[in-house]
Chains A and B, each alone.
Chain A
Amino acid sequence: MTTDNRARRWATAGTGLALALSLAACGGNVGGGTAAEGEEFPGDDPITVLVGQDPGGSTDLIARALADEVSDDLGVPVTVENRPGANGALAAQELAGAEPDGHTLMVYNGSLAYITPLAVAEGEAPDIADYEIVTGISQDDYVLVTAPSSGFTTVEDLANAGRPITFGTTGVGTGSQLSQELLFNQAGIEATAVPFDGGSPTLTAVLGGQVDVGSIQLGEAIEQIEAGELTPIVTFAEERVSYLPDTPTAIEAGYDVPVQQSRAVFAPKGTPEDVIETLQASFQTAFGSEAYQQFNQDNQLTPNEIDGEEVRQAWTSNLDRYRSVVEQYSIDLGGDS
């Protein structure tokens, strides 16, 4: 914490100094704007990466794994700061207000961009059009699991259960909820959503047979799946997940419900082109490192290291697609959306 504080103080001092120098050089041309002008980004200033989730969660771990590598590559400290709250909207709000100089970034969750807007009132979820996107990071797959004692192994089993199904979700406005709502609506299965508070309680409820099934991020359920304590029914990925080669995707099972958690690096709107490019190159170097690739393996993450514009297109089309199917099946994700 002390280092964080110190880093921030230096950051402020550094910005001030750079600003003063550039002012002097430009003869008072205030329109010059960013601190980085006249010197190569990132200069000597540290970079802060905001995370909208609690420490220890998958988003936080990803940010920290990348921060180490990027710091080595750029030669400046890269610190991760957690601003948990409102599905990440709190951190996004802070990012929007930060100086667009490349020194404040955020690891942004796709669900905040294309699922939360369907669950909360208009204007409560941030709009990705208000940010620059540096690069995509990776995708996390959802898997529909059940306790072996339930006897269910396929979606047909669920349809033929002869009673309404209960399903656990990791919360309102999450991929876990959306994926199951879509699946059960398309399969015509009568089902009740029971929202829990995150992955671990959902997992516990499925293990204990409190709910029939649950959709959980792969990394959180893989241990129990491998130990035989959970039966995977389908994954919600586009293609078979390399970590679960024997489990069909929902698409293979005949339902059009690809839902994934995707993550990308965001910067404030107005960050200069060349700074974005430098950052992008640095993240590419980070993606290539052995330690980071091992990290992806260990956490069952599928790399999705596409550039910023592709991320924007993919996420925007996700939002449109989800919005139309949600309307088509009149699914109610939240209260008043």
Chain B
Amino acid sequence: MDLAPVLDGFGVVLQPTNLLYCLIGVVVGMLVGVLPGLGPAATIAILLPITIGIEPVTAVIMLAGIFYGAQYGGTITSVLLRLPGEASSVVTVFDGFALARQGRAGTALGIAAVGSFLGGTVSIVALSFVAPLVAGFALDFGPPEYTALALLGILLVATVSSGDRLKAVIAACLGLLLATVGRDGFTGAERFTFDNLSLADGLDFVPIAMGLFGLGEILYNLEERHRAVHAPATVANVWPSRADLRQSSGAIGRGSVLGFFLGILPGGGATLASLAAYAMEKRRSKTPERFGRGAVEGVAAPESANNAAATSSFIPLLTLGIPANATMAVIYGALLIQGVSPGPQLVDQEPELFWGVVNSMYIGNILLLIMSIPLVGLFVKILRVRATILAPITVLITLIGVYTVNYDVFDIGLVVVFGALGYLMKKLGFDPGPLVLAFVLGSLLEDSLRRSLLLFDGDPTGFLTRPISGTLLVLFLVVVLLPVIRAALARRRSTDRRNTKELV
């Protein structure tokens, strides 16, 4: 591996501006992590317009900081208030809050911070080695491979994501439909544009993300957060004891590795990783009854995993140009605004951007470790800011922000429409994530499919004869059929049992 670009990357990070934006990013990330409801995807979407005026690498350093910073912040309220700041910190509530009730809130936060730091760092190191490898054979990724990958991605998003599977599929289909708006890139025909030039190039990703994630979340939270937040328990002694560290070291290691791999998967990401890591620790433990009653491993494993996953989900984005989850989709949007199209060429053509962003994560994680241990109390105070003050300001920033991207009033209308849609979706239990991701992957899927068929001269078996696309399609089938087969097996087993009973 050529080390020079990696070292240059550190040079990029250590420029004062970039350090400053990294700091801003992780502080904002911590803050939104602490605030329940407002997630990193929403925050990044709202802040997208700000990134236009700054250098691409600086912008992405900041946005990435928000993403992994939120993983740290989300823990704090999970532990202290039993109120997960982020979806990825939901499982931390079980043992984190139990520990807090035993007066060991400090231990839980300390272990979570150390675990997050180690998980994040392990993942960055792995990212540094894996990403250039992936990028190395990325040129073999042609339209057929992208077709298969996009299909797999949309399917995984719909089936793997937490929540109702059917609703996720419906949301994803809506996203796919929205992706068809605009002038058809192959024939020049207008689709659903209603003779409006603003729609000729399709719906813009930024207003959709800002509406669904930003405005939608704010509206929904206004309804949710009327009850007052009770004063959190005081936190004493955040430094984890040596015994605690020894007890959780295994959990941190396993959580980091698991998180790294789950983060790479399309549809995976921090939430899935934290759930899986918690389940794994509980199953491995000799004393599973301790889980839920204040097991340190129950905090360490999911926190390491969610940070590792947050970091590794940059791999498919930066090497293949495929966002693995909703937050990555928004960062993808940010790169496009900057005129950088993430793809196989990125590592080679923009080494400064790639390594600058990757290496900034070391710095960001160190900053977060520093902030989360001694400054916990400060961040908890943010919960006292009333929603009635916060919400109108955020709405205003969102609307002004989206206008400044294209100076187009049409975009403001879009944000309002999608904000209302996002609110209704949340209210009816639909996650807007699959919609946004399917929207992004939808045009990729359609374009790649049509390109592939042009290349194959209309013969769809071409997908199966190429090694990479063939493998991906087999994987696709496995994911589709697995639940069906499992259900069938379970039914057969139960009938078998009944049969044996009858025989006896």
Which A residues contact B (CB, under 8 angstroms)? 1, 4, 54-57, 60, 81-86, 89-90, 93, 119-121, 124, 164, 166, 171-173, 192-198, 200-201, 203-205, 207-211, 333-337
Given contacts A166-B455, A172-B188, A334-B188, whether A197 and B447 have CB atoms under 8 Å apart is yes
A166–B406 touching, CB < 8 Å = no
> Can you list 20 residue pairs at the A/B interface with Cβ under 8 Å?
A1-B52, A1-B404, A4-B407, A54-B339, A55-B52, A55-B337, A55-B339, A83-B407, A85-B200, A120-B188, A121-B188, A195-B185, A197-B447, A200-B341, A200-B343, A204-B343, A204-B345, A210-B142, A333-B188, A336-B188
Decide if B459 is an interface residue (CB 8 Å cutoff): no
B189–A335 touching, CB < 8 Å = yes
A335–B406 touching, CB < 8 Å = no
B186–A172 touching, CB < 8 Å = yes
Question: How far does the alpha carbon of A84 sit from the alpha carbon of B182 in the complex, in Å?
Answer: 14
| Smallest CB separation, A109 vs chain B (Å) | 15
Question: How far does the alpha carbon of A300 sit from the alpha carbon of B188 in the complex, in Å?
Answer: 30
Question: How far does the alpha carbon of A64 sit from the alpha carbon of B52 in the complex, in Å?
Answer: 15
| Smallest CB separation, A276 vs chain B (Å) | 26
Question: How far does the alpha carbon of A208 sit from the alpha carbon of B337 in the complex, in Å?
Answer: 26
- Contacts A4-B407, A89-B197, A192-B455 given; 7 further ones with Cβ under 8 A? A1-B53, A172-B185, A194-B454, A195-B185, A210-B143, A210-B455, A333-B188
A86–B188 touching, CB < 8 Å = no
* Across-interface contacts of B339 in A (CB, < 8 A): 54-57, 60
Q: Is the interface of A mostly helix, strand, loop or mixed?
A: loop
B184–A208 touching, CB < 8 Å = no
Question: How far does the alpha carbon of A171 sit from the alpha carbon of B451 in the complex, in Å?
Answer: 12
| Smallest CB separation, B456 vs chain A (Å) | 10
* Across-interface contacts of A93 in B (CB, < 8 A): 197
Of chain B, the residue at the smallest CB distance from A81 is B407
Question: How far does the alpha carbon of A173 sit from the alpha carbon of B345 in the complex, in Å?
Answer: 25
A201–B188 touching, CB < 8 Å = no
* Across-interface contacts of B201 in A (CB, < 8 A): 84-86, 90
Of chain B, the residue at the smallest CB distance from A208 is B139
Which B residues contact A (CB, under 8 angstroms)? 49, 52-53, 139-143, 183-190, 197-198, 200-201, 337-341, 343-345, 404, 406-408, 447, 451, 454-455, 457
* Across-interface contacts of A90 in B (CB, < 8 A): 197-198, 200-201
Given contacts A208-B140, A333-B188, whether A166 and B454 have CB atoms under 8 Å apart is yes
* Across-interface contacts of B197 in A (CB, < 8 A): 85-86, 89-90, 93
* Across-interface contacts of A1 in B (CB, < 8 A): 49, 52-53, 404
Of chain B, the residue at the smallest CB distance from A123 is B195
| Smallest CB separation, A128 vs chain B (Å) | 17
A335–B188 touching, CB < 8 Å = yes
Question: How far does the alpha carbon of A328 sit from the alpha carbon of B165 in the complex, in Å?
Answer: 55
* Across-interface contacts of A205 in B (CB, < 8 A): 142-143
* Across-interface contacts of A89 in B (CB, < 8 A): 197, 200
A56–B185 touching, CB < 8 Å = no
B343–A201 touching, CB < 8 Å = yes
* Across-interface contacts of B408 in A (CB, < 8 A): 83
* Across-interface contacts of A334 in B (CB, < 8 A): 187-189
Given contacts A204-B345, A207-B139, A210-B143, whether A193 and B185 have CB atoms under 8 Å apart is no
| Smallest CB separation, B160 vs chain A (Å) | 28
Question: How far does the alpha carbon of A78 sit from the alpha carbon of B261 in the complex, in Å?
Answer: 50
* Across-interface contacts of A85 in B (CB, < 8 A): 197-198, 200-201
Of chain A, the residue at the smallest CB distance from B340 is A56
B457–A337 touching, CB < 8 Å = no
* Across-interface contacts of B200 in A (CB, < 8 A): 85-86, 89-90
Question: How far does the alpha carbon of A85 sit from the alpha carbon of B405 in the complex, in Å?
Answer: 13
Of chain A, the residue at the smallest CB distance from B406 is A83
* Across-interface contacts of A201 in B (CB, < 8 A): 341, 343
* Across-interface contacts of A197 in B (CB, < 8 A): 185, 447
Of chain B, the residue at the smallest CB distance from A196 is B451
Question: How far does the alpha carbon of A211 sit from the alpha carbon of B140 in the complex, in Å?
Answer: 12
Question: How far does the alpha carbon of A1 sit from the alpha carbon of B408 in the complex, in Å?
Answer: 14
Given contacts A85-B198, A192-B457, A201-B343, whether A336 and B338 have CB atoms under 8 Å apart is no
B451–A204 touching, CB < 8 Å = no
A337–B455 touching, CB < 8 Å = no
The 9 A-B residue pairs with the shortest CB-CB distance, nearest first, are A56-B339, A334-B188, A335-B187, A210-B142, A208-B139, A86-B200, A335-B189, A85-B201, A194-B454
Question: How far does the alpha carbon of A56 sit from the alpha carbon of B340 in the complex, in Å?
Answer: 8
Of chain A, the residue at the smallest CB distance from B202 is A85
* Across-interface contacts of A119 in B (CB, < 8 A): 188
Question: How far does the alpha carbon of A54 sit from the alpha carbon of B49 in the complex, in Å?
Answer: 14
Of chain A, the residue at the smallest CB distance from B56 is A56
* Across-interface contacts of B338 in A (CB, < 8 A): 55-56
Of chain B, the residue at the smallest CB distance from A85 is B201
B407–A192 touching, CB < 8 Å = no
* Across-interface contacts of A198 in B (CB, < 8 A): 341
A336–B189 touching, CB < 8 Å = yes
Question: How far does the alpha carbon of A90 sit from the alpha carbon of B196 in the complex, in Å?
Answer: 10
